[in-house]
Amino acid sequence: MSATASNNAVVLLSGGLDSATVLAMARAQGFDCYALSLDYGQRHRAELAAARRVAAALGAVEHKILPLSLDAIGGSALTDRTIAVPEAGGDGIPVTYVPARNTVFLALALGWAEVLGATDLFVGVNAVDYSGYPDCRPAFIAAFEQLANLATKAGVEGRRFHVHAPLIELSKAEIIRAGSGLGVDYGLTVSCYQVDQQGRACGRCDACRLRADGFRAAGIADPTRYRA
Amino acid sequence: MSATASNNAVVLLSGGLDSATVLAMARAQGFDCYALSLDYGQRHRAELAAARRVAAALGAVEHKILPLSLDAIGGSALTDRTIAVPEAGGDGIPVTYVPARNTVFLALALGWAEVLGATDLFVGVNAVDYSGYPDCRPAFIAAFEQLANLATKAGVEGRRFHVHAPLIELSKAEIIRAGSGLGVDYGLTVSCYQVDQQGRACGRCDACRLRADGFRAAGIADPTRYRA
């Protein structure tokens, strides 16, 4: 653990469209990027294969996939197979919400950052298309930054953590435009909650709708492979 | 996930002396306790066996052991076998510090709490004997409570999380006296960083010294089994 300034950043990478864009942004800002994916019992495991492709394509220095049994805790349609994933969203916080997910993921990113001597974390949360997830709001990100400064050796030594959430105020179309400008190949990414083994999207779930609408609004051809 | 008040609490349980005391305290306060242990690649795996014994002895409703590969992140003598555990402590933050450990553990406890409809978390951090770990300070606990309220569905719905750290201002002797008064059998617990397969302590590492000094200062017989 170095006490000196570091060009390293830990980037949370899900294999979806948003976090791929964030990785490209972090690289464009000159960071040496350490990509972290969590294998948390998610249904859409094709995401992890996508994360591997994206990390390689966008020049991550290292890509770690950490197994984490959130399915043992349950409570979400994304990890608990007894809860159905809805095809269209309702009001309020959806059943696809994973309890404390971003808190857990950022905490793990923070741990790796300490080991790397890094004080920069990147996360692809989005408050516009955030579907009501509480841990995608700017106030949450600010609170985590505070916590990181108190939680760590680096913080005690007077260094400041910065949790970058560059997508937080962007629409899906703006995200897609930004990423396309940075050369992100969105054909490598997976968003669908019910993607099949071949990586083909359902085209009907909330995540698919947001993504397809985003490409339409951005005026950029949608490279997603659909089943139907 | 219930929106009503709950008598459930999630208690982080390591199998050590401190967290056993905390579990007894939470029970004495009338909480239905859900004990959470993390299998994070720690060297002292006898702790997990101890956690199982303690959870059963102190009436936890449920005990979950969540596998978590912190050893993949490295950076601590407790999870990285290339770093030696020192027998006596030096100044500053020791090499046994696990990066962001309490942040990660509390985040996972928070996730389970959401699923259980609980807003009470218990953790055995201690600022007196804390050996310089930044994530054992009162300011850290307060920051995590803030974060929990922003991070969760329960928080959005106006319920308030409470992170109980009842040992935070107690000396080891005070902890031992409190737990003994609540019927904790410390013979079930393991503190040693280098405990052997039979659960016998080395008697020489920082954790052993703190523990032995605590029993001496409390005037209570030390039930620890030592190797030598």
User: Do the Cβ atoms of B202 and B208 come closer than 8 Å?
Assistant: yes
Q: Where are chain B's structural domains? A: 8-218
Residue A72 confidence class, pLDDT cut points 50, 70, 90:
confident
Q: Is A68 helix (H, G, I), strand (E, B) or coil?
A: strand
**Whole-number pLDDT of residue A169:** 92
Residue A4 has pLDDT above 60, yes or no: no
**Whole-number pLDDT of residue A130:** 54
Residue A104 confidence class, pLDDT cut points 50, 70, 90:
very high
Q: B143 contacts in A (CB within 8 Å)? A: 143, 146-147, 150-151
Report the range of poorest mean pLDDT among A177-181, A184-188, B70-74. B70-74
Q: A2 contacts in B (CB within 8 Å)? A: none
**Rounded distance between C-alpha atoms, residue A208 and residue A213, angstroms:** 8
Q: Given an 8 Å threshold on Cβ–Cβ distance, is A100 in contact with B144? A: no
**Whole-number pLDDT of residue A155:** 86
**Rounded mean pLDDT of A162-180?**
96
User: Do the Cβ atoms of B141 and B121 come closer than 8 Å?
Assistant: no
Compute the nearest-CA separation of A149 from chain B (Å).
Answer: 9
What pLDDT tens digit does each residue of chain B (228 aa) get?
Answer: 444 467 999 999 999 999 999 999 999 999 999 999 998 776 667 889 999 999 999 999 999 998 887 777 765 555 555 555 555 444 555 555 567 889 999 999 999 999 899 999 999 998 875 567 788 899 999 999 999 999 988 888 899 999 999 999 999 999 999 999 999 999 999 988 888 888 899 999 888 998 999 999 999 999 999 996
Q: Given an 8 Å threshold on Cβ–Cβ distance, is B150 in contact with A143? A: yes
Tokens 């859900």 locate to B34
Q: How many CA atoms lie within 13 A of A45 on its CB side?
A: 6
Q: Given an 8 Å threshold on Cβ–Cβ distance, is B73 in contact with A98? A: no
Compute the nearest-CA separation of B209 from chain A (Å).
Answer: 24
Residue A107 has pLDDT above 70, yes or no: yes
Q: Is the dihedral of CA A143, A145, A151, A157 positive or negative?
A: negative
Tokens (6 digits) for A174: 């703006």
Residues forming a β-bridge with B39: B67
**Whole-number pLDDT of residue B6:** 78
Give helix then strand counts, H and E, for chain B: 7, 5
Residues 6+ apart with CB under 8 A from A181: none
Total number of residues shown for chain A:
228
Residues 6+ apart with CB under 8 A from B159: B3, B5, B119
pTM of structure = 0.88
Tokens 């999207």 locate to A201
Q: Is the dihedral of CA A219, A221, A222, A223 positive or negative?
A: negative
**Whole-number pLDDT of residue B156:** 84
Q: SS3 helix, strand, coil % of chain B, rounded to 5?
A: 40, 10, 50
Closest listed residue to residue B102, CA positions, set B74, B149, B60, B137: B137
User: Do the Cβ atoms of B78 and B85 come closer than 8 Å?
Assistant: yes
Tokens (6 digits) for B64: 């979950």
Outline where chain A has alpha helix (H): 17-28, 46-57, 101-116, 138-151, 153-156, 172-181, 206-218
User: Do the Cβ atoms of B150 and B192 come closer than 8 Å?
Assistant: no
Q: Give the A-side interface with B, CB within 8 Å.
A: 1, 64, 66-70, 72-75, 93, 97-104, 106-108, 110-115, 134-135, 137, 139-140, 143-144, 146-148, 150-153, 155-156
Q: Which of B107, B140, B146 sits opposite A100 (nearest CB)?
A: B107
Give the CA distances from residue B12 to residues A28, A168, B202, in Å, rounded to whole numbers and listed in that order: 40, 32, 25
pLDDT in tens, A18-70: 999 999 999 999 999 999 998 877 666 788 999 999 999 999 999 999 888 77
User: Do the Cβ atoms of A178 and A168 come closer than 8 Å?
Assistant: no
User: Do the Cβ atoms of A35 and A64 come closer than 8 Å?
Assistant: yes
Q: Is B33 helix (H, G, I), strand (E, B) or coil?
A: strand
Q: Is A66 helix (H, G, I), strand (E, B) or coil?
A: strand
Give the CA distances from residue B129 to residues A215, B33, B35, B191, in Å, rounded to whole numbers and listed in that order: 56, 25, 23, 13
pLDDT in tens, A194-219: 888 888 999 998 889 989 999 999 99
Higher-pLDDT residue of A22, A130: A22
User: Do the Cβ atoms of A17 and A50 come closer than 8 Å?
Assistant: no
Outline where B59-171 has alpha helix (H): 101-116, 138-151, 153-156
> What CATH topology corresponds to A8-218?
Rossmann fold (3.40.50)
**Rounded distance between C-alpha atoms, residue B91 and residue A83, angstroms:** 51
Residue A73 confidence class, pLDDT cut points 50, 70, 90:
confident
Q: Which of B73, B93, B111 sits opposite A104 (nearest CB)?
A: B111
**Rounded distance between C-alpha atoms, residue B152 and residue B136, angstroms:** 23
